[in-house]
Amino acid sequence: MRWKILFGLLSLASMLTSQACFAQTQKVVVGGKDFTEQRLLAEITGDYLKSKGFSVDLRTDMGSGLVRQAQENGQIDLYWEYVGTSLISYNKIKETLGPADAFNRVKELDDKKGIVWLNPSKANNTFALAIRSQDKDRLKLATISDLAEALKAGKELTLAGGIQFVSRQDGLPGLEKAYGFKYPKALIKQMDTGLTYQVLRDGQVDLGTVYETDGRVGAFNLLVLEDDKGFFPSYAMVPVIRKDILGKYPKLAEYLNTLSAKFDNTLMRKLNARVDTEKKPLEEVAHNFLVEEGLL
């Protein structure tokens, strides 16, 4: 009888040890780029996956090309990417594609590189042009077509723009071609992207380039001009993961898709604003979001 009891205890101990070892091996490396939204997404993802039993290594503040290279090289397992970035910057696709076609194209192309695109969120962090809401009547601008007509008529409208917007084909050069206008160089004030929000808010320029999900759009009471010709590419925010890691931990798809379903432009602006304008600690904002959404 004693040997049966001893054997049972040893079997139970072995099973518990095996389960503990399995839990310890559930390790993922979560990456992120070098701006608020990406730091937040990485922190939210890391917190959520920890609650699901994963050991998480966060590696943020990486440049866009660097984080992509790190994923391709197996140095990070997952992060949040934007459809347009992969389409244009990583896969060099120049043709204009609608949101659904753009997503399907990058999903197909990156699958060949061992990267899986999961469910896209409703957050679309694309380029946009904005004015101050209080300037709407003075400038008489509601759409980018309105802007094009005003410039053609000789109206002088100063524009604050980051170097990426001013130089990239999915920015000003492509926009000029799509809408049939040329922005006078003398009216373009090229500066750091973050500074564009401040000079626009303070009325130092008439228009500024912004990102749709940036918290300062709402916090600074800015009005985004309608892209009525649908020029700007989709920059839907999507969790991307290495195929081998997903094969190892298939539940990650469920967890990441759960997060993706929560995000839209309004929510991302609110979360970003909590960090950028309300100056709340990023870790606190991430944790509170998960609690508010019933995920913790």
- Find the domain containing 43 and state its range: 2-124+234-292
Same domain, 119 and 17: yes
Q: Taking all residues of the chain, what is their mean pLDDT, rounded to a whole number?
A: 90
CATH code at 157? 3.40.190.120
Ramachandran area for residue 270 (φ above 0: left; ψ -120 to 50: alpha; else beta): alpha
Which residues in the chain belong to E strands, given as ranges?
27-33, 55-62, 78-82, 115-117, 127-132, 159-161, 188-190, 207-211, 222-224, 237-242
Same domain, 48 and 28: yes
Same domain, 113 and 241: yes
Same domain, 24 and 164: no
Same domain, 220 and 269: no
The predicted model gives 147-157 an average pLDDT of: 96
Question: Amino acid identity, residue 285?
Answer: V
What pLDDT, on the 0 to 100 scale, is given for residue 171?
87
What pLDDT, on the 0 to 100 scale, is given for residue 2?
52
Closest by Cα among 157, 164, 156 to 130: 157
- Asked if pLDDT for residue 79 goes beyond 80, the answer is yes
Ramachandran area for residue 99 (φ above 0: left; ψ -120 to 50: alpha; else beta): alpha
pLDDT, tens digit (0-9, with 9 covering 90-100), for 210-229: 999 999 998 999 999 999 99
Same domain, 63 and 181: no
- Asked if pLDDT for residue 204 goes beyond 80, the answer is yes
pLDDT, tens digit (0-9, with 9 covering 90-100), for 231-251: 988 899 999 999 999 999 999
Same domain, 52 and 112: yes
Residue 5 pLDDT level (bands cut at 50, 70, 90): very low
pLDDT over 70 for what percent of the chain?
Answer: 92
- Asked if pLDDT for residue 101 goes beyond 80, the answer is yes
Q: From residue 276, how far is each of 22, 169, 258, 281 by CA, in Å?
A: 39, 28, 25, 10
- Asked if pLDDT for residue 181 goes beyond 50, the answer is yes
DSSP code at position 234? P
CATH code at 27? 3.40.190.10
pLDDT, tens digit (0-9, with 9 covering 90-100), for 275-289: 998 999 999 999 999
What pLDDT, on the 0 to 100 scale, is given for residue 296?
93
Structural domain includes residue 229: no
- Which residue, 188, 204, 224, sits at the end of a domain? 224
Same domain, 110 and 133: no
Structural domain includes residue 119: yes
DSSP code at position 124? B
Number of domains in the chain: 2
Closest by Cα among 165, 86, 99 to 130: 165
Structural domain includes residue 89: yes
Task: Map tokens 């920059």 to a residue.
Answer: 235
Which residues are CB-contacts of 54 (< 8 A; sequence separation ≥ 6)?
Answer: 26, 27, 28, 249
